Amino acid sequence: MGWNSWDAYGLTIDEADFRANATVLAGMKQYGWTYAVIDEGWYMADPFAAKLAERKYLWDANGILIPVEARFPSSAGGAGFKPLADWVHAQGLKFGIHIVRGIPRQVVKENLPIAGSSFHAEDAADMDSPCPWDEGNWGIKDNAAGQAYYDSMLKLYAGWGLDYIKVDCISDHPYRPTEIRQIAEAIRKTGRPIVLSLSPGPTKVEHAAEVAKYAQMWRITDDHWDGWTFKHEGASEFPFGVRDEFDRLAAWAPYVKPGNWPDADMLPEGSLTPHPGLGEPRQSRLTQDEQRTEFTLWAMARSPLIFGGNLTKLDEFTRALMTNKEVVGINQRSAESGPARMPKNDGEPLPWRAWYARTGGTHPQTYLAVFNVSDEAGKWDVAWLGFGLADKPHAVFDIWNQKHIAQAKSLHVEIPAHGCALFRVE
């Protein structure tokens, strides 16, 4: 659980804005919000420049990206992100950054030395594996020099006090298992517990065992944005809407376990300003029903809850979602969850979806969610058996509406278009 700068700030986050958002996050840490993450661009002197070369990447003498002092004043004098990470830790939070896999192309051109080794940048660079959608870096070879480069990178970042690293262009288009392994090994060598988050999706289900061996989070969709559905051309699924997350999360449900969290991406809710990573500055295009559906689905599916909106402009509805202890608790405390068994519908897609989640411990609780994925309001009676419950009357508590519902032979729901209902079995 935490906050990431991308959905609100894109490449442009600076220290003042980061501290402002982290301060709000710290005010909600009692609900579980923990990680404050600076996404892409912190090493760019001019993130607004149209051409890559004009963005002016900054690296140290050993070719490792470092923060730009003009944007992050506390990094002055070669301090890197350590002063900022120390401040984050003092707020009771944890600190994270984003990188794109590989080594900056200009570093390779200058053939800078790799710290702690006899290698140079050219020895580590894999020029046959650039990121196809980001021209900043070359890939890293699966050799001793490549491992040394990642070792030197993570040693520096761990020394800053890093708790979380999101690595892009590595889990799909293209899938780079060698670099995933190298980064995980470099993290291990630091001796510091650092969450490894892989991006972008869709990570292929056939790679589940391999990514689970090395990473704690991996994206299961391409970038998720604030729409119910989006039109796609060709094989692309960018951007990915709420409606399509149901089937994707269902496919990944068997692979969710402690230490391995298939990631449906950030929550693009609230204020997506001032410079969102996609589109114009705006209030999230999700309706309140859609936003509640998104938050509930992520909670039930045990996806990481990484909020993307501008926390300094948090509206009351969105704040109420983020601070609902019981809903957040479903996400954080469930020992098992998955899609309910759906009735047959003569080959036609059902207008609703259902999920269950069960907490562990000495007093386990069962939660049920029903989602209306159609464009019209609907009324349905859902069988208890589909949730794995005994075929007898049950009583439930309606969490979103805060009311008790008497025993009945089935679960009756009335849900607006794109809305949801969430219950605790009593």
Residue 153 and residue 184 in contact, taking contact as beta carbons nearer than 8 Å: no
Q: Which of 316, 334, 352 delimits the end of a domain?
A: 334
Give residue 345's pLDDT band: very low, low, confident or very high (50, 70, 90).
confident
Give residue 270's pLDDT band: very low, low, confident or very high (50, 70, 90).
very high
Shared domain for 72 and 140, answered yes or no, is yes
- Asked if pLDDT for residue 348 goes beyond 90, the answer is no
Question: What mean pLDDT is reported for the chain?
Answer: 97
Identify each DSSP E strand in 114-228 by its residue range.
Answer: 125-126, 137-140, 164-168, 195-198, 217-219
**CATH code for the domain of 354:** 2.60.40.1180
Shared domain for 373 and 298, answered yes or no, is no
What average pLDDT does the segment 131-145 reach?
Answer: 97
Q: Which of 302, 319, 334 delimits the end of a domain?
A: 334
- Asked if pLDDT for residue 16 goes beyond 90, the answer is yes
Q: Which of 303, 334, 365 delimits the end of a domain?
A: 334
Alpha carbon distance 66, 162 (integer Å): 13
Residue 214 and residue 192 in contact, taking contact as beta carbons nearer than 8 Å: no
Give residue 137's pLDDT band: very low, low, confident or very high (50, 70, 90).
very high
The bridge status of strand 334-339 relative to strand 352-359 is: antiparallel
Shared domain for 168 and 115, answered yes or no, is yes
Tens digits of per-residue pLDDT, 376-407? 999 999 999 999 999 999 999 999 999 999 99
What average pLDDT does the segment 41-63 reach?
Answer: 96
Shared domain for 269 and 301, answered yes or no, is yes
- Asked if pLDDT for residue 346 goes beyond 90, the answer is no
Tens digits of per-residue pLDDT, 178-211? 999 999 999 999 999 999 999 999 999 999 999 9
The bridge status of strand 103-104 relative to strand 137-140 is: antiparallel
Tens digits of per-residue pLDDT, 285-304? 999 999 999 999 999 999 99
What average pLDDT does the segment 354-371 reach?
Answer: 96
Tens digits of per-residue pLDDT, 402-424? 999 999 999 999 999 999 999 99
Residue 124 and residue 105 in contact, taking contact as beta carbons nearer than 8 Å: no
Shared domain for 357 and 322, answered yes or no, is no
Which tokens belong to 249? 């999360």
Shared domain for 114 and 27, answered yes or no, is yes
Return the closest-CA partner of residue 114 out of 157, 64, 158: 64
Return the closest-CA partner of residue 219 out of 207, 236, 228: 207
Q: What is the pLDDT of residue 347?
A: 78
Give me the number of domains the chain comprises. 2
Q: What pTM does this model have?
A: 0.98
For residue 397, the enclosing domain spans 338-425
- Asked if pLDDT for residue 152 goes beyond 90, the answer is yes
